Amino acid sequence: MHTLVAICLLAASANGPLVHTVNFAEPPATHPALIKIPKGPNGLTLYNEKGERVAECGKKDDAFSNCKVESGFTFDDVMNAWVHALQDMQK
């Protein structure tokens, strides 16, 4: 039994090293994780269920405001677009 284990170990080590080194032409660039903090959106565009743009809102501080309604849409369309946006966020 010991001979069989020795033969298996010898055969496994005869095929070469188990760890292969990889040489890069250029070393990989590493960056700290928080060097570039992503910025949030500067505004919000509201779409209805048909994919039509209903309104575009600006961002002030942490709230969206000054929504400009596209021509041909009503306040009800804007409110429905807000509901549609909230439902999309919950998916």
Predicted TM-score (pTM) of this structure: 0.50
pLDDT tens-digit readout, 48-72: 888 899 998 888 888 888 888 999 9
Residue count of the chain = 91
Contact 41, 56 (CB under 8 A): no
pLDDT (0 to 100) of residue 69:
92
Domain ranges of the chain: 41-91
pLDDT (0 to 100) of residue 90:
83
Average of per-residue pLDDT across 33-37: 53
Q: In which order are the strands placed within the sheet that holds 63-69?
A: 43-47, 53-60, 63-69
User: HSE on the CB side for 12, CA within 13 Å?
Assistant: 8
